[in-house]
Amino acid sequence: MLQLNNLSLSFGGQDILDDVGFNIHNGERIGLVGRNGSGKTTLFKIITGEIKPDTGIVSLPKNYSIGYLKQHLSFTEMTVLQEACLGLKPEEEDQIWKAEKILLGLGFSEDEFYMSPEAFSGGFQVRLNLAKVLLGEPHLLLLDEPTNYLDIISIRWLTTFLQRWPNELMIITHDRDFMNSISTHTMAIHRKKIKKMEGDTAKLYEQIALEEEIYELTRQKEQKKRDETMEFINRFRAQAARASLVQSRVKSLERMGVKKEMGKIMELGFRFNALDFQAQTIMRTDRISFGYTTEKMLIKNFSIDIGSKDRIGVIGKNGKGKTTLLRLLANELTPMSGEITRHPSYQQGYFGQTNIERLNPNNTIEKELGDVRSDVSYSEVRGTCGAMMFTGDLALKKISVLSGGEKSRVSLGKILLTPTNILLLDEPTNHLDIESCDSMIAALDDFPNAVIIVTHSEMFLHHLANRLIVFTEEGVSVFEGTYQDFLDKVGWEDDIKKPKKEKKTDSRSGNNASKEIKKIRKDLLQKITTVETNIDKEEAAFKAINQKMTDSFGKLTSSEIKNFQIKSHEHQMIIDAGYKELERLIEELDKLDKA
């Protein structure tokens, strides 16, 4: 058990943590929540020893290992596979299949195993770091926003992987559904204190809200009693006959103490500046094609009419062209062929992955927002600063000293000041906390015009999208329907189960391996994937049946209960058999690797 006791920490005179403590028990998977700037990443660094608290103790069991996913990137090996294998435990250095399996799950193709890590984008380099951390199988795994650079398929794989994580886990993520599907407990940093409880985020937030409501009612009641006592003291203070009674009330007042009024917590609350638009179609693409090289075309002959009320989710694996399409629609790129036609009244609000790089580092937040429009008033600028949680003197901070999340909020603020009839948003939630993501959904709900959003958040897709632009191995197409319609009618299974290209020989496992061994090994990996997929389906069915039994408690006949029990038992038998088969296949693969 890991223990933290009486921790306090301040930065620059500002309290971050105030005499907090908690325990992490064996097998707990903890979702860590709190508003941006509350100290979540700082707490991780205290646990790893990178930051020393002002007071308090972190107690680790003997030989207790911690794996921490950092954004810092540093590679020493020639290939992605060799770099990933550095994460293997010393006694598992020959089990290269484990590295291959995790790399595939995180979106690397087999051909990419043999490329240099330096050849990849920052997002894929972070994935490689994640693979190394997962391979180490530490006693405690610390993950800080692991989904930021993952596509939906990789997030689904990571979800399943972490649900089976046998040790302790703490995770920071803005994706509420991802967190709730993994964690057994939720822990919040709230008002410089820490509260931990079993259950999901909703349960914890409800408890915090209830406790604060009770605190405030108690404070008001006690304040009323103090006021009444003070009124009595002031009224009879000068009367000698009442001196003992007055003195008694004075002592009572001293014993009572004073409950401080809770300060208001800043929230990201905003509305997009909607520009009236009456026409039916705001933009049209006619057979557009684009590639950064003529050999690798990302988009071929793509056409779509975008309606003035459309809510379009852009989905697909990373690297297929989602961001490129948004840049084409935003007029940042020009198609090689085809045409994009925009309505004469077209006015866009564009949030791209490079937006924060375009901020002037020498500007203050206030000046950066004020430069958006010449006609914007000072009060409107300050109001937008406040909506983006830059109140008072915070609005005078320079862009150069802001964190990535703060710069993202400035970029959003610039969009808020721009009257728009279409929003083009590329992963707008990456640097927001859970509460801010909720505010974003509410603001998009209120926006009456067209929205096109690239997001890996299935919660956003379920909530917003009424059409989809889908990138697959075959190219890009339009799906007419909601995200749930897509899952029901098409789904991700085809992409997940596509046969992989034949892998090159790994120099670490021998350059002279025969084609026959390679084929056997490939078949085994495919069988392992198939068995794991079947186990996932059966476990989901088993969980659904048991949940249905629980929800219907007291309403079922003995015959219905018996049928449920039989079905539950059948699924359990299939699951048990699946795990036995999985063990057999893994043992066979181990023997092949050691041969």
Pairing of strands 14-24, 29-33: unpaired
Question: Tokens for 135?
Answer: 């391979």
Tokens of 14: 């500002």
| pTM over cut 0.75 | no
Find out whether 9 and 53 touch, Cβ atoms under 8 Å: yes
How far is it, in rounded angstroms, from Cα 495 to Cα 483?
Answer: 16
Taking alpha carbons only, the member of 456, 463, 408, 434 closest to residue 31 is: 434
What local confidence, expressed as pLDDT, does residue 72 receive? 64
Stretch (H or E) spanning 20: strand 14-24
Per-position b or e across 287-325, b if 16+ CB within 10 A of its CB: ebebeeeeeebbbbebebebbbebbbbbbbbbbbbbbbb
E strands present in 95-238? 140-144, 168-172, 185-190, 193-198
Q: What is the pLDDT of residue 502?
A: 39
DSSP β-bridge partners for residue 55: 8
Secondary structure of 385-413 in the HEC alphabet? Answer: HHHCCCCHHHHHCEHHHCCHHHHHHHHHH
Strand order in the sheet with 281-293: 296-307, 281-293, 337-342
Quickly count: other Cβ atoms within 10 Å of residue 255's Cβ.
7
Domain 2-204, classified CATH 3.40.830.10, yes or no: no
Residues 6+ apart with CB under 8 A from 354: none
* Sign of the alpha-carbon dihedral angle for 533, 534, 535, 536: positive
Residue 505 half-sphere exposure, CB side, CA atoms within 13 Å?
Answer: 11
List pLDDT tens digits, range 500-531. Answer: 443 444 444 444 445 677 778 777 888 888 88
- β 281-293/296-307 pair status: antiparallel
Assess contact for 17 and 43: CB atoms under 8 A.
Answer: yes
Residue 420 pLDDT: 94
Q: What is the dihedral of CA 379, 382, 383, 384, to 10 degrees?
A: 130
Measured torsion, CA atoms of residues 322, 323, 328, 334, in degrees rounded to the nearest 10: -110
Between the alpha carbon of residue 476 and those of residues 297, 314, 425, 466, 484, the distances in Å are 11, 10, 18, 17, 19
Query: What fold does the segment set 281-494 form as a domain?
Result: Rossmann fold (3.40.50)
Residues of the chain with pLDDT under 50: 494-513
Per DSSP, what are the bridge partners of residue 59?
Answer: 3
